[in-house]
Copies of this chain bind each other. A is one copy, B any other.
């Protein structure tokens, strides 16, 4: 046992955290800050930090766990739903920069292998763009966001497949036709075997564990690590790289394979160990391998590679996006959103360096390319979406669509009636008569106990975007929203909270990321009665000045309970339930009952 160099690890982790936090503060993904801090503190500039055996081991374990996590985050269903435009964007945004990147390196006299590596690196799209930037720019519910995410997932998958081909080829060395067939055969066998194991064996294991009532999270974690290492070793045996095994394992360890609660916990653990601990070590130490001399010796190549990466990605995406019929402007916007490179690119570049396929100059160029392109994303995406907005071409689309409304009471029906014009709505109630009555009135409704997972499954909850708890029992509303959050990841949960002093408290809603319906504690019964008797008036009010729903309630409701704000309609006519934590912008309309 050698002495661990704690100080080195401490400084690297602390500076990774500082760099990452600073980047996030500025609206960039953490990886950007981590790479830059590695370059600044590492041998390239200040020389305060350097790599060590320990750092390498931790970084490499970090990559494996990160690849598992990236795999876990890719949902086949999402890929399937990506449909035409997402696929077009992904392919265009991949092929065009790939070709440009390849010929750039050949032009500068690089080897064919190095050219292919750079081509992959240039073609990749960062998954990190996914969350933060879209949230910051309030783009989450737009068609662009939807296409972007699908595009990033597809291009990453594509990149890894091509990478697999290259790696097995390199590994084989000089090669004849028979040898090439053997190499290709092994790689294909690997994918076929892991896919079959993932599709058939893993669910079998999961079912066995569930049936044996084995629900230790730690045991699941250990077993999954063993599976990950097993897949990684298989990848090595097949002449591929271990990260491909980890990625394949991650792809198949997901919803429905293991107990839902445990799956979520394990997903969190992989997230925290990789993104909160080991992966930053890798990204900082990737910065250690960068040399600043490229700015003197290879400035031309650096500029051309970066330009090709950006031009190829943005215009390639826009070009292939044309057949979607959504217009070239949206194509450009999607291209700018996909322009960032991130984890997968740096990992692939690192492997290329390690295997001697690319030299340290090209590695440095790829790191700088990642930094520069990532820097452009918020800027360019802000411009392009403003541009679309100003032309009224920013199309809204939910990635998870449709409503589950709990409670087929008059309020539930009233809610469903307005929403079901543009959304799939399903009403659930535990009262058979109310369900029958709702059905008679033409509503899509079903009977069930909402606190059972089966009921959510029957309602196809995993594809729904919003859960609305509208029974008079706040606790049932809350528990149902909790289940919606825990097991079905429904992004929006809106629950009715009764004005009782005890029981469910508005502060509890934060825990499950839910908000209160009508932005206020509300008694169900009086309103249900009014609505079923037709004893109410519906008003529509156009908002002149941006206001929070909370403030709106304060100003309009006053002390009396005579007003119930029900919906907000935006300028495009899209309707949403009135709830806490929402902002009504200028020109939107509030529909309220009196």
Contacts and interface: CB of A to CB of B under 8 A. Distances in A.
Contact of A271 (B218, B350, B354): B218
A78 interface: no
Contact of A56 (B1, B56, B478): B1
A229 interface: yes
Interface string A194-237: 00000000000000000000000111011101100110110010
A272 B505 CA distance: 33
A218 B276 contact: yes
B451 A233 contact: no
Given A56-B1, A229-B10, A242-B4, A449 B269 contact: no
Interface in A439-469: 449-452
A17 B226 CA distance: 9
Contacts of A3: 354
Nearest to A277: B225
A280 B218 CA distance: 12
Interface in A16-34: 17
Contact of A475 (B2, B6, B475): B475
Nearest to A219: B276
A61 interface: yes
Interface residues of A, number: 66
A24 to B, nearest CB: 10
B6 A222 contact: no
A503 B473 contact: yes
Nearest to A2: B56
A479 interface: yes
Nearest to A51: B1
A223 B17 contact: yes
A526 to B, nearest CB: 21
A226 B13 contact: yes
Contacts of A276: 218-219, 221-222, 225
Contacts of A225: 13, 276-277
Contact of A4 (B60, B217, B277, B503): B60
A265 interface: yes
A541 interface: no
Given A6-B242, A430-B503, A60 B1 contact: yes
A528 interface: no
User: Which residue of A2, A353, A502 has the most chain B CB atoms within 10 A of its CB atom?
Assistant: A502
A299 interface: no
A350 B475 CA distance: 53
A56 to B, nearest CB: 5
A14 interface: yes
Report the copy number of this chain in the oligomer: 2
A430 B475 contact: no
A476 interface: yes
Interface in A75-132: none
A218 B275 contact: yes
A24 B217 CA distance: 16
Interface in A471-524: 473, 475-476, 478-479, 501-505, 507-508, 511
Interface in A300-345: none
A169 to B, nearest CB: 18
Nearest to A54: B57
Contacts of A265: 268
Contacts of A10: 226, 229-230, 232-233
A59 to B, nearest CB: 7
A269 B261 contact: no
B504 A479 contact: yes
Nearest to A477: B475
A64 B430 CA distance: 52
Interface string A245-280: 000000000000000010001001101110111001
A58 interface: yes
A119 to B, nearest CB: 22
A58 B478 CA distance: 43
Contacts of A280: 222
A57 B217 contact: no
21 contacts: A1-B56, A1-B59, A1-B354, A10-B226, A10-B230, A17-B223, A53-B53, A53-B57, A217-B268, A217-B272, A218-B276, A273-B273, A449-B501, A449-B505, A451-B508, A452-B505, A473-B475, A473-B503, A475-B479, A478-B479, A479-B479
List the 5 closest A-B pairs by CB distance, nearest first: A475-B475, A430-B502, A10-B229, A218-B276, A57-B57
Given A53-B53, A450-B502, 15 more contacts: A1-B56, A1-B354, A4-B57, A7-B233, A10-B232, A13-B225, A13-B229, A17-B223, A17-B226, A54-B57, A219-B276, A273-B273, A449-B503, A475-B478, A476-B502
